[in-house]
Amino acid sequence: MAKLFRRDWRPYHRQLILGAALALVLIPLFLTIQFAPASAGKSSPDAGAIAGLAGGYQSPDRCRECHEAEYQAWSGTLHAEASFDPIFQTYLAQEEQPGECLGCHTTGYNTSTGRFVLAGVSCEACHGPYRVDHPGQSMMIVSSEELCGHCHTSTLAEWASSRHGEKGVNCIKCHEVHSQSTRQDVITNALCAGCHEAGTQDAVHSDHLARGLHCVDCHLSRPLLDPDSSVSGYAPTGHAFTVAVSTCSLCHNELPRNGDSH
């Protein structure tokens, strides 16, 4: 019986070794294909093939045919590289069920299959899948803060509690959509002063501005990067626009009393 067992087991054992070796080759290849970069200078899948397999989705290259300026503004941004961020990749490898991560870091994620269409947050993540009669029919344009807040959860919560939230000054009023930068250089304070000109003329603000500080130094301060809280989606981002005592203490060893120069 022992001889029979050894004779039957050895071929099966060789098959297991061969299968494991094949998996070691194919799994990295699969992941490389899944996360193939779609930003400028990097090859992307054929748009027609994507559309046929993924319910109309194409690729940023298709949008680029008519929207070169927008494509260039988007390329290289955090959205474009959302699937390839080193911190994201590290935590993704630790997740047994990464769907929640992929839902915000990819385009066209399907909760039923656990697969996505395109790596990164590309054009169609915000504009919807390509329409065959476009440009005859416009692509979807969403200006609601809820679209951004779907992934930027802590930012949305902070904004909703702020005066900006109360007045309806939402994301795109301050942020360029494609480049994700602010609409005007914040270092000049022009973006804030466009609405808050009178508020910057009091003694406190005038003194800080005279010392070379800018609105965002105090009103958009955020703690040092904490990868764990950043990955959770609930890292503080400063979008309540309040000035915390801890922010003042970065410059003031002793906090000034009312009436003192700041």
- Contact status, residue 121 vs residue 82, Cβ threshold 8 Å: yes
Residue 49 has pLDDT above 60, yes or no: no
Q: Which of 252, 253, 225 is nearest to 238 (CA)?
A: 225
* Alpha helices (H) along the chain: 2-34, 47-53, 60-64, 68-74, 86-92, 99-105, 123-127, 145-149, 153-160, 163-167, 171-174, 190-196, 203-210, 215-219, 227-232, 245-248
Buried b (16+ CB within 10 A) or exposed e, 94-123: eeeeeeebbebbbbbbeeeeeebbbbbbbb
Residue-wise pLDDT tens digits, 179-228? 988 888 777 888 888 888 887 778 888 888 888 888 888 888 776 656 56
Residue 126 CA from chain centroid, whole number = 12
**Which residues are CB-contacts of 29 (< 8 A; sequence separation ≥ 6)?**
none
Tell me which of 245 and 124 has the higher pLDDT: 124
C-alpha to C-alpha distance for 77 and 121, rounded to whole angstroms: 10
Residue-wise pLDDT tens digits, 227-250? 565 666 667 888 999 887 878 888
C-alpha to C-alpha distance for 215 and 200, rounded to whole angstroms: 9
